[in-house]
Amino acid sequence: MTGLGSGIDYESMIGAIVGAERAPKDNQLNRQEGMNNAEIDALKEIQFTINSFRDKVEDLNSSRELEKLKAVLSNEDVLSATVDSNAVAGEYSFEVTQLAQTQREQLFKVTEGSMFTEGTISFGAVNIDIATLKGDLVTEQNDKKAAHDAQVRQKIADQHGLDVAADAAAIDDMLTNSANPDFDQARLDNYNSLQTIYNDEITRLNDPAQGVKLEELQSAINSDPASDGVKATLVRSGDGISMVLNGKDTGVANALGAITVTIDPAKVNNNSLDLALPDNAQKSLQAAQDATVKFGSMTLTSATNKMENVIDGISLNLKDTGTVNVTIERDQSSVKSTIKSFVDNYNKIIETVNTYTKSSEDEAAALSGDSATRSMVSRLRGVIGAEYSASTYNTLSQLGITTTRQGTLEIDQKKLDKALEDDFEAVSKLFLGDEINTGMMDEMMVVLDDYHKNGGNYDRRIDQLEVNNKQITEDREKLDARMEAKVLTLRAYYARMDSQIAQMNQTQNMLVSMLM
């Protein structure tokens, strides 16, 4: 504000005084917060690369990865094979003589559109009586008809604030009487249409010349709680449609057991096929059987076409009959890929560290001069460059993996391929160690566990930096409070000064007027 008595802009003076006092502390807090945030981002990025690298180290520290095997098949049309580390390298010959299959049974074959009035179908704990089913379906249609009628009348009652029971006559009049002011022809037409459908279904089921449809009989079998996964399907052929019962699972143990079909041809309407003929009567379409595989003089059997761990570490998935040779050998391409991934992820750590520790002429890096990060890299390099006595390959360099001037690793692929070809076990021991000596991956895990995820050195530093940022926020709030108090104090001070100047000016003006 401008002083009324003095004409001086005290508010600008107050702003300048407070700004000059506030600026150093503001700059200090902003600078510290910026440094903290930059360090948090750097630490998180480095920790992310460490976590990714640790995953690859865990892979290389597992015999499943370094001793991975693969199956090479002479005929992939007969079977496929999967192997794990328990398998023994070598050649295996299998002859698939029979595939596992489910039981399939034709219950009967009739003309499309046939309907049934009596008869029974039973298997296992399932017993379908067609006469009983017909009664159940009639009850179901009656229930649907009543539910639809109640729904329509309830909707009318709700629309007009009526009670369904007490105002039944009024509701019926609204529904059916075209003279009623609340009558709706479209509503009545829809109501009558659905009611007619229900009535037609009830009539059809009760008519001795019609009866239960094929689809209704199929649904009754499939929805029976005792069917336990056994399903009926309708199979259409040139002259009719067959009701086929399908077993749930393959194998002799999962056969359907006794199946009884008692249907009087006279109780089947709209059918033109002779149910007494073998092609139209109950008959077996496919017997339940186990898979059989010859392995030398042995016969291997299975209820399914997937033979799990049929030989230690080897599982077969049978596709067709025939003979196939399975060669189990080391999957060197997978091992090389795992080693390359290890190198790539190690290099990512080094490159990320270099990004956040090397300063330019214009700007200092977030972790420039950070002793903890230098220590971490030094420990990693120590593991990479160390010698290991568990293997005849004592160092990574003997595998063709060397350190560049930038601290990253590079691979001489020809040298690595030759080492894997010459002595795969020695390569494995360099990484895994043996019963007496630790390998490189065990030593690497010791280092990485100090920096890995929750509770590691970087995680604790990030937590502390975030605590420091919260303190900076609190310091800003305190600074704001002090500056607000400072403004109030200065305003009171300058207000008193302005009042005194006003009084002095008033006295001066009085004296001047007296002299004149």
131 & 205 share domain? yes
pLDDT per residue as tens digits for the range 470-509:
998 888 888 888 888 888 888 888 778 777 777 777 777 7
301 & 280 share domain? no
Place of tokens 């600078």: 31
Apex CA 84: angle with CA 79 and CA 85, to 5°? 145
pLDDT of residue 453: 64
14 & 33 share domain? yes
Mean pLDDT of 23-37: 86
pLDDT per residue as tens digits for the range 66-112:
667 889 999 999 999 998 878 888 999 999 999 999 999 999 999 99
* DSSP calls for 452-502: SSTTSHHHHHHHHHHHHHHHHHHHHHHHHHHHHHHHHHHHHHHHHHHHHHH
Q: Residue 307, Cβ neighbours under 10 Å: how many?
A: 22
Max mean pLDDT range (356-365, 374-383, 422-431): 374-383
* DSSP calls for 27-84: HHHHHHHHHHHHHHHHHHHHHHHHHHHHHHHHHHTSHHHHT-EEEEES-TTTEEEEE-
155 & 202 share domain? yes
350 & 411 share domain? yes
Check the CA dihedral 462-468-473-476 and report its sign: negative
Q: Is residue 511 part of a domain?
A: no
pLDDT of residue 11: 80
Q: Is residue 1 part of a domain?
A: no
Mean pLDDT of 40-52: 86
How many angstroms from the chain centroid is the CA of residue 272? 54
Q: Is residue 423 part of a domain?
A: yes
Of 301, 330, 359, which closes a domain? 330
User: What's the predicted TM-score (pTM) here?
Assistant: 0.60
109 & 248 share domain? yes
* DSSP calls for 356-416: HH---SS---TTTT-HHHHHHHHHHHHHHH---TTSS--SGGGGTEEE-TTS-EEE-HHHH
Give the whole-number percent of the chain exceeding pLDDT 70.
96
Of 251, 286, 321, which closes a domain? 286
Q: Which of 511 and 187 is assigned the larger pLDDT?
A: 187
Q: Is residue 317 part of a domain?
A: yes
Q: Does the pLDDT of residue 4 top 60, yes or no?
A: no
Tell me how far apart the alpha carbons of residues 31 and 472 are, in angstroms, rounded to a whole number. 11
Residue 441: C-alpha distances to residues 65, 388, 398, 422 (Å): 13, 11, 16, 22
Q: Is residue 430 part of a domain?
A: yes
Residue 87: C-alpha distances to residues 69, 210, 329, 440 (Å): 8, 64, 9, 25
The domain in which residue 218 lies consists of 104-286
| Residue 104 near residue 246, CB atoms below 8 Å | yes
58 & 150 share domain? no
120 & 202 share domain? yes
Tell me how far apart the alpha carbons of residues 245 and 253 are, in angstroms, rounded to a whole number. 17
96 & 109 share domain? no
| Residue 271 near residue 111, CB atoms below 8 Å | yes
58 & 73 share domain? no
Q: Half-sphere exposure of 227 toward its Cβ, with a 13 Å CA cutoff?
A: 18
Q: Is residue 274 part of a domain?
A: yes
Q: Is residue 151 part of a domain?
A: yes
55 & 197 share domain? no
Q: How many domains does the chain have?
A: 3
Mean pLDDT of 194-210: 95
Of 422, 411, 358, 357, whose CA–CA distance to 384 is shortest?
Answer: 411
277 & 306 share domain? no
Question: β-pairing, 314-318 with 306-311?
Answer: antiparallel
Q: Does the pLDDT of residue 119 top 90, yes or no?
A: yes
